[in-house]
Each structure stands twice: as C-alpha cells, then as structure tokens.
C-alpha cells in the first residue's frame, strides 16, 4: 500500500513538531535530576493527568480492545475494566503521599521507608528488575504491536518491520533524552489529542459506512451477546462465540483480587511506575490527586468507546478473521475506509500513541538507572551543591535513555507471544500488591516483607504451573495465597524497622493508618475522619467512573432507560465524590 503525498506531509510535520517540543525544554531539563526526571516538580494536574492517559494509549491498545470485542463482545473489556478499583485506590490513598515523599523514583522510596543493607539491596534490585528487565519487556510488546500494524497496512515483511520500529524508537529516544520529563509530558498532550481525534474520526467513518449502516445497522447485524455490557457468570468458560462467560473463580480473581494482589505495569497497587513519576512531578499534593483522578476517569470511561465501536464494526466487516487475528480488524478498517489525508492522520495517531508510551518508558527507565544505580551505588555524591555533578547526572540520564532503547530493540527481536508475556508478568507479581499498599499505612512492614513478597510469587507460580499443573485462575489463587502467607510470616519473624527510620518516613509523608505513638503524635480525630473521607471518595469515584462509562455507551446506542439510570447514578456518585475531594484536599 502507498500513501498519498498529503499523508507523508502530515506524518513529517508531526515528527518535526514532536522533536521541536523537546528542544524547547532542553535547557530546563538539564538543570538537575529532578528537572530531568520529574519536571522540576511543577506540572499542573491537567498536564500530568493527560500525560498519564497518553502513556497508557499505546499502538497495541486499540488492537487489543478490538480483539477483546471481536472474541467476547463489549463485556470482554472487563478483563481490564476491573483494574479501575485499584487505580482509584491509588488516587485517594497514595497520590498525595507519593508527592509528599519528594523522591525522584519509586526505588528511592524504599530507602526512605526502610533502613540498612536490606533496603539498599532491595533498591538496587528493583532498579534493575523494573527499570531494565520489565521495562524492555513492556517496550518490546508495544513494538510488536506497531510492527503488526506496519505489516498489515504496508505489507512490510516481519523481518523488515523490526527496523522500522527501531527507527521510530530512535526518534523517540532523541527527543526523550533532550527534553526530559517536561518535554515528554508536553509532547504527550499533543500526541494524545492527535491520537484520540484520529480514533474518533475512524470510528465515525467505519460505523457510518454503507457496509455497516450506522449504529442502528450495527445493532441489527450483530448478535445480541456482543452488545452486553456485563459478563455472564457460569460454572464453565464457554469460550469464543458468546458473550464473556467466565467462571465464578475467574470473576473473583479479576474483580475481587487482581486489583490489589498483583503488580502489573501502569496499574501498580499503591501507585508506582510511570504513574508515580507523574504524581511526583506535580506542583503539590492536591495537583497529584486531581491528575490521577483525571487519568482514571479518562482512561476507563471516556477513551474506550471509539475503539469499541470499530471493534464491533470489524465483526460485521471481517467475520472470517480467526480468534488470534481479530485485532487486525482495526488496521484493516483503517486501510479500507480512510481516504488520502485521513490515512496519514490515522497513522500519525498510531505513531502518537506509540511514541507517548515509548518516551515515558525510556525516561522512566533511565531515571532508575541514573538515580538508583549510578548515583546511589557508583558516584555516591549529592548533586545539590555541585553544578558539575548535576550536569554529570543529567548526561548519565540521557545516555541511559539510549541504552534502554538498544536493549528494547533486542528484546523485541526475541518476543513471540504478547499474551504469554503479559500472563507471566501478572502471575509473577501475584501477592506483592498488598505489601506495596500496606507499607504506607502499617508500621510493621519492613524491608524483608517486600523482599519476600517480591521473590515468593516466582517460586509459587513455578510450583503451581509446572509441578501441580494449575491453570488460571487456580494458579493465581495459589500464588497469591502462598505468597501472602510467606511475607506475613517473614514480617513477624524479622525485626521491624528502627524507630528512627519510621519516624523519618512518617514526618516526611504524614500518612494516616497504624503507627505507634512513639513514632507520631497521638492520632487526632480529624485524621481518622480524613481516612473515612478517602474511603468515601474512592468508592464514589469507582461508581462515578463506571456510571460514566456505561452512560457513554447507552448514549451511543440511544437506550433511553439506560441513559436515565446511569445519569442518575453518575450524578449521585459525583456529588459524594466532590464533597470527598473537598475534605481531602483542603488542608
């Protein structure tokens, strides 16, 4: 397939714009590590929030949603919609704490919360494991999605598509290493609006095409099960060709346990990853809370419907696609229905989605290498009063960005099944999540708790899969249960952190929760009430976001009864949410 000259002009202008933004912020990014990796801690909530949303919108996201819808209907999205519960927990219980900690990276928090050699070892291990190993895996599967698009859209051979992906990543690495987080965040904003505009235009064109016949024609041509918003619980999974029908055990795993029990990139229990990086980059605690709240609402309620509608249309347009190839329906619709000019716009939309994710992963991973390995264990010098040291650290951050890019290209070349990698990541983090939540609120958690919770899932996952022979969700329940029992035993079998370490952490972050009187002043009634308002805000925000999600769907399908019901639910929950936010953020 060839593009018209106007398509190439649109793509070229977009690339020039992305690189130009980075150079605008080059000087401010080079002042210090805090400027380079957390934007000088001065981002307003809307920039930080949109940057979070843009980062989670990768080249693979519309394809993944199209595959879910094609195989399981709208209700198939509950496989990721369930993660809203944990995301909102981060908003109300952890976003402000991350900002108050004033650390640059997630591993740095470890030596604020814990003390001694175990904390140092854990910090170094997590910097390598998360910043390098897990990071290049994530970048790898995002690259694989981009390569799939290039292969279908341009008929590029699989071996050659890797080099195109590497070239795109090199452009991203250049502007990420030049502009730092501030340049990445501003570019994210531009990329997000381009990407969403392109996806909305595609959805409108495809759904209203003659072959589909608009929303009414779509409803007539589709089986009823594809339009269900909720999964059906059954004693057995009926598989493909019906609405999402899952066992009660799988439902409990997804909705009842996964959001708090598992560590997974971008939705870490208790915050973490690039989400924590954005929270730490905001102006203050209030901006951190609002940025994370905006991200959760936009990510789960506002953004999915253009992808879902194209996924539904693809069922009608390409009924012969196999289960594994359903995701390609999105790219095939782009190729078939977009005229010159709009093809370039949609390719730019995919490039924008891809680049916003990769730029964040590169900057975030480089922050771990620089701040938690190079600065902490190699140079061992504070940058505050040494301009030359500050410059050396920033340059190290730029070099680390390029190193991660090179490792990610190698990782991409080895990657086969994205779903298999993703399943491994989910299950090998099963049981860690609760420690990441409780370390903020329970004084008894120590470094050995987190070390054992990090290692145990790998052991019990291997036992459940390769010795016992469990499959999901049984393997998940087994891993979570055994890992949780392990870290609880280790916690009580080892000494708590010294009072001096706990007091330093508490005075810095001021968390509510279970802290002995010797560590903090007596717990005032106002603190306990604030904890209750956080709980009310969390629950109301979950209800509001789900209500808004379903309201958007009912508006698209013009279901009056559903519109009224979900409007009422959204209105009531929003009132509780608004009051809760006032109580939490007004000091």
Ranges of each domain in the chain: 5-427, 524-587
Nearest-10 crossing angle of helices 525-556, 285-297: 30
Cα separation, 243 vs 241, in Å, equals 7
What is the reported pLDDT for 33? 85
What is the reported pLDDT for 159? 79
Encoding tokens for residue 327? 């995701």
What is the reported pLDDT for 248? 58
What is the reported pLDDT for 385? 58
- The upper half-sphere exposure of residue 188, i.e. CA atoms within 13 Å in the direction of its Cβ, equals 30
**What are the phi and psi torsion angles at 210 (to 5°)?**
-65, -35
**What are the phi and psi torsion angles at 113 (to 5°)?**
-85, -35
Cα separation, 33 vs 315, in Å, equals 49
Query: Quick check: 404 and 476 in contact, CB under 8 A?
Result: no
Encoding tokens for residue 436? 């990441």
Q: Are strands 232-234 and 245-247 parallel, antiparallel or unpaired?
A: parallel
pTM of the complete model: 0.89
Query: Quick check: 289 and 586 in contact, CB under 8 A?
Result: no
CATH architecture for residues 5-427: Up-down Bundle (1.20)
Cα separation, 538 vs 541, in Å, equals 5
Query: Quick check: 370 and 393 in contact, CB under 8 A?
Result: yes
Query: Quick check: 153 and 343 in contact, CB under 8 A?
Result: no
- What are the per-10-residue average pLDDT scores of the chain (587 residues)? 77 86 82 87 94 84 88 87 88 94 93 95 93 86 81 79 86 86 89 88 93 92 89 56 52 67 72 88 94 95 93 93 84 85 80 85 92 88 69 87 89 65 67 90 94 92 88 80 94 95 92 81 68 94 97 95 96 96 82
What is the reported pLDDT for 574? 97
- The upper half-sphere exposure of residue 333, i.e. CA atoms within 13 Å in the direction of its Cβ, equals 36
Instruction: Name residues whose C-beta falls within 8 Å of residue 114's C-beta, 6 or more positions apart in sequence.
Output: 122, 446, 447, 450, 497, 501
Cα separation, 260 vs 430, in Å, equals 9
What is the reported pLDDT for 347? 81
């Amino acid at each position: 397939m060839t593009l018209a000259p106007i398509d190439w002009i649109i793509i070229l202008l977009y690339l020039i714009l992305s690189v130009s933004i980075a150079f605008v912020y080059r000087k401010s990014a080079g002042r210090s590590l805090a400027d380079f990796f957390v934007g000088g801690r001065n981002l307003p909530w809307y920039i930080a929030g949109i940057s979070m949303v843009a980062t989670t919108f990768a080249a693979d996201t519309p394809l993944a949603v199209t595959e879910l819808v094609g195989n399981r209907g709208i209700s198939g999205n509950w496989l990721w919609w369930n993660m809203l519960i944990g995301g909102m927990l981060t908003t109300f219980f952890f976003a402000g704490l991350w900002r108050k900690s004033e650390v640059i990276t997630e591993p740095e928090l470890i030596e604020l919360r814990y003390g001694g050699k175990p904390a140092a070892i854990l910090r170094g291990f997590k910097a390598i494991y998360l910043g390098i190993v897990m990071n290049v895996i994530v970048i790898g599967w995002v690259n694989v999605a981009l390569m799939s698009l290039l292969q279908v859209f341009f008929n590029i051979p699989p071996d050659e598509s890797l080099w195109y992906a590497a070239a795109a990543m090199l452009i991203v690495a250049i502007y990420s290493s030049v502009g730092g987080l501030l340049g990445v965040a501003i570019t994210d904003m531009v990329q997000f609006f381009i990407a969403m505009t392109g996806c909305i235009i595609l959805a409108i064109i495809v759904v209203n095409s003659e072959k589909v016949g608009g929303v009414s024609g779509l409803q007539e041509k589709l089986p009823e099960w594809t339009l269900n918003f909720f999964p059906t619980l059954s004693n057995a999974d009926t598989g493909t060709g019906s609405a999402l029908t899952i066992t009660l055990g799988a439902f409990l795993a997804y909705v009842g346990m996964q959001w708090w029990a598992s560590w997974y990139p971008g939705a870490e229990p208790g915050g973490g990853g690039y989400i924590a990086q954005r929270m730490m980059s905001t102006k203050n605690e209030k901006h951190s809370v609002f940025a994370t709240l905006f991200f959760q609402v936009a990510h789960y309620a506002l953004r999915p419907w253009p992808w879902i509608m194209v996924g539904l249309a693809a069922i009608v347009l390409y009924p012969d696609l196999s289960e594994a190839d359903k995701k390609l329906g999105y790219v095939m619709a782009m190729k078939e229905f977009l005229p010159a000019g709009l093809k370039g716009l949609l390719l730019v939309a995919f490039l924008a989605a891809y680049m916003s994710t990769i730029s964040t992963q590169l900057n975030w991973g480089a922050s771990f290498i620089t701040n938690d390995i190079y600065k902490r264990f190699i140079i061992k010098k504070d940058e505050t009063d040494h301009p030359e040291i500050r410059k050396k650290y920033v340059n190290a951050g730029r070099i680390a960005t390029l190193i991660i890019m090179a490792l990610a290209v190698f990782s991409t070349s080895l990657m086969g099944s994205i779903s298999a990698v993703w399943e491994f990541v989910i299950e090998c983090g099963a049981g860690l999540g609760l420690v990441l939540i409780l370390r903020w609120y329970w004084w008894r958690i120590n470094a050995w708790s987190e070390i054992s919770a990090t290692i145990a899932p790998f052991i019990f996952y291997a036992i459940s899969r390769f010795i016992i022979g469990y499959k999901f969700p049984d393997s998940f329940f087994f891993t979570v249960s055994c890992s949780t029992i392990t870290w609880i035993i280790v916690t009580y079998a080892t000494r708590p952190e010294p009072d001096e370490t706990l007091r330093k952490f508490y005075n810095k972050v001021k968390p509510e929760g279970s802290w002995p009187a010797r560590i903090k002043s007596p717990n005032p009634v106002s603190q306990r009430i604030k904890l209750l308002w956080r709980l009310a805000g969390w629950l109301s925000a979950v209800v509001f976001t789900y209500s808004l999600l379903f309201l958007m769907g009912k508006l698209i399908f013009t279901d009056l009864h559903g519109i009224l019901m979900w409007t009422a639910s959204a209105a009531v929950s929003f009132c509780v949410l608004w009051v809760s936010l006032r109580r939490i953020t007004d000091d």
